[in-house]
Chains A and B, each alone.
Chain A
Amino acid sequence: MNTLDASAKLWTSEWCRALGFLDGVPTWFYFFLALVFTYCFVVIPSGSVLSYLDRKLSADLQARVGPNQAGPAGILQPIADFLKLLQKQSTEKSNWREDVWLSIHTMALYSTLAVMPLGTFALMLDTEMSAFLPFWSALVLALGTMLLGFSQGTVPGWFGGMRIAAQTMAGSFPALMGLLCTGVRTGSFQWSQLATIQGFSPLSWTVFSNPFQTIACLVFVTSGLVLSATPPLDGGLSMSDIHGGVASQLHGRKYSLYRFGRFYVFFLWSVITVVLFLGAWILPLEVSRFLSDKGANRILSILELILLLFKTFAVMLTVIWIARVNPRSRVDQITSLAWKVLSPFSLIALVGASLWMGWRNLG
C-alpha cells in the first residue's frame, strides 16, 4: 500500500495543493479525486473527441457530410448528443435484474481506472501485477454483459450474452500471450518499467525491438478487439440479426451508459497497447529532464498525457477506419480466428521473443 499511497499523493496532491486547500486530507481522498479526475477530464473528453472524429472521418470515407449543424463543422455535436442522452428516459418498466447487472458491469469496468497508465506521475497502482488487472476487468465485464443479456429473457439477449462470453474467452488467451511478450523484454509488468524501457524514437519502441514483438503487437491489438467486441470484430453485438444483442433491450440512459462502457473498453485497450508497444508517454529525454529539473511536474504530466492520447487516438482511428470499410464478421469466424490464428501466432511470438532475449543476453 505504500507505493499506492506515495504515487497517489504524488500527482493528485500537487494539483490539490495548487488550489490552496485540502492539506492533510487522508490518502484515500487523493485517490478518489484521482479517479474522478481521470474519468471526467480524460475519459469523457476522449470519448467526445473520438466520437466526433469517428463520425466526421467515416462521413468522409462514405461520401457524406457528417455532423455539420452544432457549432462550426459540427464540432459541438458530442455536447449536443450528451445533453440529449441525459434527458432520455427508458420506455419500458424497470427490470431490477437488468439494473443490478448493469451496475455490476459498470463498476467492474470503471475499477480499471485505478490501473490506467496515463503518465509518469499519473500512475495510481504501479505494482508488479498492474498490467494484468485490465484482463481481470475485461473478464468480469464479459461475465456482467453475459448475465445482463440472460437477465433480459429475450432471444437477442441470450445470444448476445453467449456470443460476448465466447468472444472474450477466445480473445483473452492471445492477448495475455501478447502481454507476456512485453514482459519478456522488460523483465517486469510494472507500468513504469514497461514504459521507460522504450524511448521517444519509434526505433526504441517495443513493437520494433524485434520481429516477434511486432507479431505480438498485432496479435495484442487484434485479440483486444475480439476480447472487447469492438468493430469490425463485434459479431456478438450484431445489429442485423439480434438488434445489437445485449443492447437490444436497453433504452435511454441505460443504453448510453452501456455504449459508453463499450467505448471505454476500446479506449482502455488502446491506451494499454500504446503503453506496452508504442512508446508509451515517453517524451524526448532532454524535454523530460529539463522539465523535471525545473520541478515542472504538472507541465510534464500534461505533455505526457497529450502524447499518449495522440498515439491512442491514432490507434483507435486506424481500427475505426478498418471497421468502416469491412463488413462485420460472424461470431464463429471471430472465435475461430482467435483460437486458430491469433493463439498460435501469440505462442510463436512468445517463444521467439524469449529466445531473442536469451540470445542477446548470452552475447
Chain B
Amino acid sequence: MSETPTTEHSTSDHPEGNRKESRHNTEDYRPKDYQAGADYLAEYNAEFPLMSPKTDLTRWKIGPFHASLPASMILNLVLDGEVISRCSVETGFLHKGLEKALELSPWSSLVPYADHLDPENAVFGELVVCTAVEEIAALEVPLRARVIRLILSELTRISAHLSYTVRLARSVGSDTIVHYVLRDRERILDLFELLTGSRFSLNFLRFGGVKADVTEGFIERVLEICELIKIRLKEYNDIFTYNFSFTRRTYGVAVLPVDMIQKCGITGPNARASGIILDLRKSSPALGYDRIDFQVPIGRGESGALGDIHDRYLVRLREIGQSIEILKQLTEIIPPGDFLEKKLENDIKIPTGEAYSQVESPRGLLGCHIVSDGSGSPNRVQFRTPTISNLLCIPELIPGTRIEDLPVVLASLDLGIAEADR
C-alpha cells in the first residue's frame, strides 16, 4: 500500500465536516461535491506532479445493496490498484424507527417489538428490555424463569455464531461448510420451535418471567444437541478452520489493534479476539452466570497477529464450546417452581423511574435505557448496540486491505445492521 499522506484539514474543508453542517437542510443534506477521498486529490502538487501522492486512484461507491456487503450500507472506497486506500461508511437505510415505535406502544407490546432489534438474536433484545423494565417495576424473576432465559440466551449465542461462520465461509467462497453449519443451526431453531412455537421472533420473555414452562423433553433435547454440536465443531475444524486456503485468506488480515477497540468502544467477541477480557457474563453477576463454571475465550494470536480475522472466527468457535458447557450446567441446576411471577394485564402501567440494563449479546455489549413516567407506554427507550462500534472502526480498519478481502473483513466484524439502524 502506498503511504497515506496525513495532513490537517480545517473542518469546513473536510467533506465529513460539510456533511454534518448541512444535515439539517432537508433539501440537500449531502454536499454535491461530497466524495470519499476528495482530500486525497487536494494533495495534488501542480508544481511538482511527481512529488504528489498518488493521483490515479479509483473511486468505487458500493451499496446500498451489494454482494460484498453484509447488509444495506454504502461504502465509499478509494482504490489504489486493488488496495483500498480510503474508505467511509454510510448507514441508516433501514429506517426502522424502533426506539420511537417502542415509545408509542403500550408496555405489553415491548417484548414482541424488541424481537426486531436484532432478528438474528431475538432473545437478547427481549432480555435487555425485560431486565430494564423489571428493574423499574421492581419485579422479582423466579429462579426457574431465569434459568430458562439463560438456556435461550446460550442457544441463541450458538445459533448466532453458527450464522457468523456461514457468512464468513460464504465471503471466502467455501460452499461446503456453509451447508454443514446451516444443517446444525436448524437443530437449534428446532429447539426454539419446541420451546416457544416460533423459530425466529420468539416473543417468549415476559416482565417477571417467561411466557410458558419448558415443554416435555426439551431439556433432554438440549443435551442431545449439545453433544451433537460438540462433535460437529471438530468437523468444522477439519474441513474449514485450518484449511490452507482459508488460513491464507485470514491470517494477519484486518488486525484490530487494542487502541482502536478502546477508541470505538468495540465489545464482545471482536474485542476478545484482540486479547481484551471483557465479558459481562463474568463481570456482571446480575446476569445469573455467577453459579456457572466457564471460561471466556480470548484471541491467542496463533497466526502471529493478535486480533485478525482468524482470531475473531476462532474466538466465536470457542465460545460455542463454552456455551455448550454452560448449557450442560444449566440443565443440571434448573430448579422446580414458577416460570412467571404473575401474569400482567395488557394495559399495565409501569411506575415512574428509569433503568439501564446490559446483556452480553453474541455481537457484544447490548444496553437498554428505559424511562417510565408512570403512563401506559415508555417515555423513552434507547439502545446501546454493539454494531455501532463495529461500524465505527471500518474507516480505519479497511484501508490497506485488498478489495477481495473486503467481504471477508466485513463478515468477520459481524455487523448486524438491523440493530445499528434501529
Is B302 engaged at the interface, CB distance under 8 Å to the other chain?
no
Instruction: Kindly supply a per-residue 1/0 record for chain B positions 222-257, scoring 1 wherever the CB is within 8 Å of any chain A CB and 0 otherwise.
Output: 000000000000000001100111101100000000
Query: Contact check: which of B60, B68, B240 meets A240 at CB < 8 Å?
Result: B68
| Minimum Cβ distance to chain B for residue A30 (Å) | 45
Instruction: Point out the residues of chain B lying under 8 angstroms from A240, CB to CB.
Output: 67-68, 170-173, 407-408
Q: Cβ of B67 and Cβ of A332 under 8 Å apart?
A: no
Q: Which residue of chain B is the closest to A242 with respect to CB atoms?
A: B403
Partner of A235, one of B176, B179, B404: B404
Chain B residue numbers with a CB within 8 Å of A155 are 58, 60
Report the Cα distance A62→B183, complex, angstroms.
Answer: 10
Give bound CA distance, A330 to B402, whole Å. 9
The verdict on A241 contacting B246 (CB below 8 Å), with A325-B176, A327-B173, A332-B402 known, is: no
* Closest residue on chain B to residue A325 by CB atoms: B176
Which A-chain residue is minimally distant from B411 (CB atoms)?
A240
Report yes or no: B404 in contact with A331, Cβ–Cβ below 8 A: yes
A185 an interface residue at 8 Å Cβ cutoff?
no
Question: Within the assembled complex, what's the spacing in Å between the Cα atoms of A192 and B141?
Answer: 84
Take A241-B68, A243-B67 as given contacts and tell me if A328 and B172 are in contact as well, using a CB distance cutoff of 8 Å. Answer: yes
- B41 to A: closest C-beta gap in Å: 18
Shortest Cβ distance from B407 into A: residue: A240
- Which of B60, B183, B404 has the most chain A CB atoms closer than 10 A to its own CB? B404
| Dominant secondary structure of chain A at its interface with chain B | helix
Given contacts A155-B60, A240-B407, contact A61 B176 (CB under 8 A): yes
In the complex, whether A111 has a CB less than 8 A from a CB of chain B is no
Interface size on B, residues (CB 8 A): 32
Specify which chain A residues have a CB less than 8 angstroms from the CB of B183 in the assembled complex. 63
Q: Closest chain A residue to B79 by CB distance?
A: A155
- Judged by a CB distance under 8 angstroms, whether A324 is at the interface is yes
Question: Most chain-B CB neighbours within 10 Å: which of A64, A241, A332?
Answer: A241
Contact: B173 with A328, CB < 8 Å? yes
B contacts with A: majority SS: helix
Q: Which of B241-284 contact A (CB under 8 A)?
A: 243-246, 248-249
Q: How far is the CA of A124 from the CA of B58 in the complex (A)?
A: 48
Select from chain B the residue with minimum beta-carbon distance to A324: B176
Interface residues of B in 173-191 (CB under 8 A from A): 173-176, 178-180, 183
Cβ of B405 < 8 Å from any Cβ of A? yes
Shortest A22–chain B CB gap in Å is 49
Mark each residue of chain B from 384 to 420: 1 if its CB lies under 8 Å from any CB of chain A, else 0. Answer: 0000000000000000001111111000000000000
| Complex CA distance for A232 and B175, rounded to whole angstroms | 11
Given A62-B179, A155-B60, A326–B404 Cβ distance below 8 Å?
Answer: no
Q: Is A239 an interface residue (CB 8 A)?
A: yes
Chain B contacts for A330, CB-based, 8 A = 248-249, 402, 404-405
Q: How far is the CB of A222 from chain B (nearest CB, A)?
A: 13
- Shortest CB-to-CB span from B77 to chain A, Å, is 9
B306 at the interface (CB under 8 A from A): no
Chain A hits for B170, CB < 8 A: 240
The interface residues of chain A lying within 8 Å CB-to-CB of B243 are 326-327
Is A159 an interface residue when CB atoms closer than 8 A count as contact?
Answer: yes
Query: How near does chain A come to B305, taking the closest CB pair, in angstroms?
Result: 17
CA distance A330 to B250 in the complex (A): 11
Contact with B along A231-247 (1 / 0, CB 8 A): 01001001111110000
- What residues on B are CB-neighbors of A312 within 8 Å? none
Tell whether A328 pairs with B407 under 8 Å between CB atoms, given A58-B175, A62-B179, A239-B67: no
Bound-state Cα–Cα, A112 to B176, Å: 34
**Residue B169, interface by CB 8 Å:** yes
* Binary interface encoding of chain A residues 177-199 relative to chain B, with 1 for a CB under 8 A from any of its CBs, else 0: 00000000000000000000000
Query: Cβ of A329 < 8 Å from any Cβ of B?
Result: yes
Bits for A85-117, please: 1 = Cβ < 8 Å to B, else 0: 000000000000000000000000000000000
Which chain B residue lies CB-closest to A162? B82
Which residues of B are interface residues toward A (Cβ below 8 A)? 58, 60, 67-68, 82, 169-176, 178-180, 183, 239-240, 243-246, 248-249, 402-408
- With A62-B180, A328-B174 given, can you name 6 additional A-B contacts, CB distance below 8 Å? A58-B175, A62-B175, A324-B176, A325-B239, A326-B245, A327-B173
Closest 5 CB pairs of A and B: A328-B173, A62-B179, A327-B174, A327-B172, A240-B407
